[in-house]
Amino acid sequence: MSLTINTLGIVGAGQMGSGIAHVCAAAGIQVRLNDVSEDRINGALATINGNMARQVAKGSMDEPARQAALGRITGAKSFDDLAGCDLVIEAATENEEVKRSIFVALCRALPPETLLATNTSSISITRLAAATNRPEKFIGIHFMNPVPVMQLVELIRGIATEDATFDSAKAFINRLGKTLTVSEDFPAFIVNRILLPMINEAVYTLYEGVGSVESIDTAMRLGANHPMGPLQLADFIGLDTCLSVMQVLHDGLADSKYRPCPLLVKYVEAGWLGRKTKRGFYDYRGDKPVPTR
Ligand code: NAD
């Protein structure tokens, strides 16, 4: 029997966790948002508040709806606060060890009927499910960034995912008004299997001196009709996430064509992770983004 998702828990209140909270609360779902510190949770609540205010200013949401949606989101200081949720989505850092330890701890705090999902961009759903005590109630629900804007959600079942879990996730995504595609559980699924090697190639193009940051992005915007250049998009996704996805592709498919560009590694080692740290292929600390190479 599929389950209706009325209360949702989210672990990881970064770019994606706050976006998921935003759209779910706007769709009438109660949301409990967890992260490693109260500061992070409060930061996410402030971001959601600001993003909804922007929707009101643009006329895509009215003020009573904003107030009602904000009222549906509460902070969850511990996993025990997620015990009444129908579904808990993990949207923490793209690192398998981090995610596995979250799922182990979540399983201790949640009753056996609670569904579990991961928003991972690349990591095996079957392997993450194996870290839980309920692989049949586990699924990949991959939202795109920014969640309030992007129409697609990729659904990925693990080897043990039951039909009822799949149906519950499908109904949940439909309720958000999003469109879903189904991907098989292979490294990086569909969107990132295609997108990330292109971004990695753009970083190689920069690394080898074929073009500057500005010429690479302009070339792809005006020459391939992409709404954003690949390096601008990499900054938007987060360079740590881009590198992790390339590592998962490289390890999982054992093909040298997925070798992460050394320049991408260097930016991540410098802590230049893109927009979220205010520096990546562009420097965002001033009024206008300035290329860093
Ligand atoms: P982010 O760096 O903005 O946020 C990650 C959050 O997870 C941080 O707030 C961090 O404090 C928190 N976190 C880390 N360990 C935790 C723990 N043990 N318990 C609770 N919270 C913890 O990253 P993001 O861009 O929001 O990405 C999150 C996930 O979504 C990743 O798996 C990523 O691959 C995936 N994703 C990202 C994008 C994108 O474009 N950025 C798109 C789709 C999916």
Domain of 49: which CATH number? 3.40.50.720
The CATH number of the domain where 239 resides is what?
A: 1.10.1040.10
Active site residue 208: no
pLDDT of amino acid 253 = 97
Same domain flag for 50 and 148: yes
Q: Is 238 left (phi over 0), alpha (psi -120 to 50) or beta?
A: left
Helix, strand, coil % in the chain, rounded to nearest 5:
50, 15, 35
Same domain flag for 165 and 58: yes
First to last CA, the chain: 55
Same domain flag for 179 and 98: yes
Q: What is the rounded average pLDDT of the residues 193-215?
A: 98
CA of 209 to the centre of ligand 1 (A): 32
pLDDT of amino acid 2 = 87
Are 249 and 269 within 8 A, CB to CB?
A: no
Same domain flag for 158 and 117: yes
Does 203 contact ligand 1 (Cβ within 6 A)?
no
**Mean residue pLDDT across the chain:** 97
115-118 vs 138-143, strand pairing mode: parallel
pTM score of the predicted model: 0.96
pLDDT of amino acid 90 = 98
Atom of ligand 1 at shortest range from CA of 122 = 34
- Find the farthest-apart pair of alpha carbons in the chain and give their distance in angstroms, rounded: 57
pLDDT in tens, 224-266: 999 999 999 999 999 999 999 999 999 999 999 999 999 999 9
Return the best residue to mutate from 11, 32, 77, 93 for the ligand 1 pocket (most ligand atoms within 8 A of CB): 93
What are 268's two structure tokens?
């991540």
pLDDT of amino acid 1 = 81
Alpha carbon distance 42, 25 (integer Å): 16
Q: Quick check: is 65 in a domain? A: yes
What are 92's two structure tokens?
């923490």
Same domain flag for 179 and 229: no
CA of 236 to the centre of ligand 1 (A): 13
Are 191 and 154 within 8 A, CB to CB?
A: yes
What are 148's two structure tokens?
């309030």
Q: Select from 155, 183, 211 the last residue of a domain.
A: 183
* Percent share of the chain, pLDDT over 70: 100
Q: Select from 183, 209, 228 the last residue of a domain.
A: 183
Same domain flag for 200 and 100: no
Same domain flag for 167 and 203: no
Task: Give, using CA atoms, the residue closest to atom 41 of ligand 1.
Answer: 237
Residue 119 DSSP one-character state: -
CA of 87 to the centre of ligand 1 (A): 18
**pLDDT reading at 202 higher than 90:** yes
pLDDT in tens, 25-42: 999 999 999 999 999 999
Alpha carbon distance 217, 227 (integer Å): 10
Same domain flag for 106 and 209: no
Q: Quick check: is 281 in a domain? A: yes
Q: Quick check: is 2 in a domain? A: no
Q: Quick check: is 64 in a domain? A: yes
Question: Which residue type, as a one-letter code, is found at position 45?
Answer: L
Q: Select from 150, 183, 216 the last residue of a domain.
A: 183
Question: Which residue type, as a one-letter code, is found at position 80?
Answer: D
Alpha carbon distance 58, 215 (integer Å): 32
Same domain flag for 281 and 205: yes
CA of 120 to the centre of ligand 1 (A): 8
Same domain flag for 234 and 164: no
Same domain flag for 253 and 127: no
Residue 261 DSSP one-character state: P
Residue 159, domain extent: 7-183
Q: Quick check: is 146 in a domain? A: yes
Does 87 contact ligand 1 (Cβ within 6 A)?
no
Q: Quick check: is 1 in a domain? A: no
Q: Quick check: is 233 in a domain? A: yes
**Catalytic one of 183, 192, 200, 244:** 192
- DSSP string of 174-202, one letter each residue: HHTT-EEEEE-SSTTTTHHHHHHHHHHHH
pLDDT in tens, 47-75: 999 999 999 999 999 999 999 999 999 99
What's the total number of domains in the chain? 2
Question: Which residue type, as a one-letter code, is found at position 142?
Answer: H
Same domain flag for 51 and 173: yes
What are 161's two structure tokens?
């995912």
Active site residue 78: no
Active site residue 250: no
pLDDT in tens, 120-148: 999 999 999 999 999 999 999 999 999 99
**Catalytic one of 142, 168, 183, 244:** 142
